Amino acid sequence: MTDFLQLLISGLATGAIYGLAALGFTLLWQASGTINFAQGEFVMLPAFVMLGFMALGAPLWLGFVLAAGVSVLVLGWAFKRGVVDPLFKYGMMPIVVATIGLAITLSNGIRAGYSAEAHPFPNPFGDHVFNIAGVTITSGGVGTLLTALALVFATQAFMTRTVTGRAMQAVAQNAESATVLGINVPRMIFYAFAINALLACAAALLVTPTYLAKFDMGEGLGTKAFFAAIIGGFNNSRGALLGGLIVGVAENLAAAYVSPAYKDAVALMIFMVVILFKPQGLLGKKEERKV
Partner 1 sequence: MQKRFTLQLLAACALSAACATAALAQQVVKIANIVELSGAGATAGTNFKNGVELAVKEINATGGILGRKIQSTTYDTQSNPGVAKGLTQKAVDEEVFAIFGPVFSGSIMVSMAESRRAEVPNFTGGEAASITQQGNPYVFRTSFGQSTSFPKLARYINGKAKTLAVVYVNNDFGKGGRDAIVKLMEGSPTKVVADISTNQGQIDFSATVLAVKQSNADAVFVYTNEEESARALREFRKQGWTKPIIGETTLTGQKVIELAGDAANGAVAHVGLTVDAPPTQAFGAKFQKEYNYVSDHNGIKGYTGVYVLKAAIEKAGKFDRVAVAQALKNVTFTAKQHPGVLMDVSFDDKGDIDRESFMVEVRNGKQVVVATLPPLGKK
Q: Which residues contact 204 (CB under 8 A, 6 or more apart)?
A: 43, 44, 45, 46, 47, 50, 67
For residue 10, state whether it binds partner 1 (rule: CB under 8 A).
yes
Binding mask 219-238 for partner 1 (x = CB under 8 A): -x------------------
| Angstrom distance (rounded) from CA 37 to CA 109 | 17
For residue 80, state whether it binds partner 1 (rule: CB under 8 A).
no
Return the residue of 149, 256, 275, 282 that touches partner 1, per CB under 8 A.
256
Return the residue of 55, 97, 104, 118 that touches partner 1, per CB under 8 A.
118
State how far Cα 16 lies from the chain centre: 10
Name the residue among 71, 69, 79 with its Cα closest to residue 105: 79
Q: Which of residues 136-165 bind partner 1 (CB under 8 A)?
A: 136, 138
Q: How far is the CB of 85 from partner 1 (least distance, A)?
A: 33
* Burial call 204-235: b when 16+ CB within 10 Å, e when fewer: bbbbbbebebbbbbbeebbbbbbbbbbbbbbb
Q: How far is the CB of 84 from partner 1 (least distance, A)?
A: 29
Q: What number of chain residues touch partner 1 (CB under 8 A)?
A: 34
Return the residue of 89, 259, 277, 288 that touches partner 1, per CB under 8 A.
259
Longest dimension (CA), the chain: 60
For residue 1, state whether it binds partner 1 (rule: CB under 8 A).
no
Return the residue of 100, 126, 127, 287 that touches partner 1, per CB under 8 A.
127
For residue 129, state whether it binds partner 1 (rule: CB under 8 A).
yes
* Backbone angle region of 114, left / alpha / beta, with phi > 0 → left and psi within -120 to 50 → alpha: alpha
For residue 14, state whether it binds partner 1 (rule: CB under 8 A).
yes
Q: Which residues form the interface with partner 1 (CB under 8 A)?
A: 3, 6-7, 10-11, 14, 111, 115-120, 127, 129, 131, 136, 138, 210-212, 214-215, 220, 251-253, 255-256, 259-261, 263-264
